[in-house]
Amino acid sequence: MTEEIIIAGFGGQGVLSMGKILAYSGIMQEQEVSWMPSYGPEMRGGTANVTVILSDDRVSSPVLQSFDTAILLNQQSMDKFESTLKPGGLMIYDPNGITRHPKRDDIRIFQVEATAEAARMKSPITFNMLVLGAYIKVNPVVDFENVILGLKKSLPQRHHHLIPKNETAISRGMEMVHEAKRTP
């Protein structure tokens, strides 16, 4: 198994830390992992993306042109990465703020209304965990328990009181995710 994922959105949406938790979850599941961020001033209020690879074998290239999964959290990311999905690939996106929805018909497309739900939960910082939950529901490459272990590993001790809240958000994301209706 090798799963090549791109996660992209605004800086501040927790894109990089979501990738990190996913990579840690992979380690907990005895996988080989890599996490390669976009870096630099581009991130200051702009867009951020990270490539995460989970594999049973040694990870070769940490930079890729095409992906098995794309998790897209704003319009720029949608515009940039929709075309990079491999045929049969998986897209998960938050429809919030999206005006040009995906068009491809050779991929599986799911939605999770994470922005709205995070606002409803009055917990904007758990936005990325809702999305992570959605992902592991649709594509269970890592087990829920290992995600929680990964979460513990990647959060510094002083933030461990936030774990239950994040756990709830992951579960909520798993419940909420649904297949996108095709806009004709």
Using CB under 8 A, list all residues that contact another protein.
20, 23-24, 27, 32-37, 39-41, 44-45, 59-66, 153-154
- Of 24 and 110, which CB lies nearer to another protein in the complex structure? 24
Please state the closest distance from residue 24 (CB atom) to another protein, in A. 5
Residue recorded with tokens 């991929």: 107
- Of 50 and 112, which CB lies nearer to another protein in the complex structure? 50
Please state the closest distance from residue 151 (CB atom) to another protein, in A. 12
| Distance from C-alpha of 33 to C-alpha of 141, rounded to nearest angstrom | 12
Q: How many residues does the chain have?
A: 184
Please state the closest distance from residue 37 (CB atom) to another protein, in A. 6
Which among 171, 169, 5 is positioned nearest to 91, based on CA atoms? 5
| Distance from C-alpha of 52 to C-alpha of 31, rounded to nearest angstrom | 12
- Of 12 and 175, which CB lies nearer to another protein in the complex structure? 12
Please state the closest distance from residue 12 (CB atom) to another protein, in A. 12
Helices of type H across the chain: 15-28, 75-81, 114-120, 127-138, 144-154, 163-176
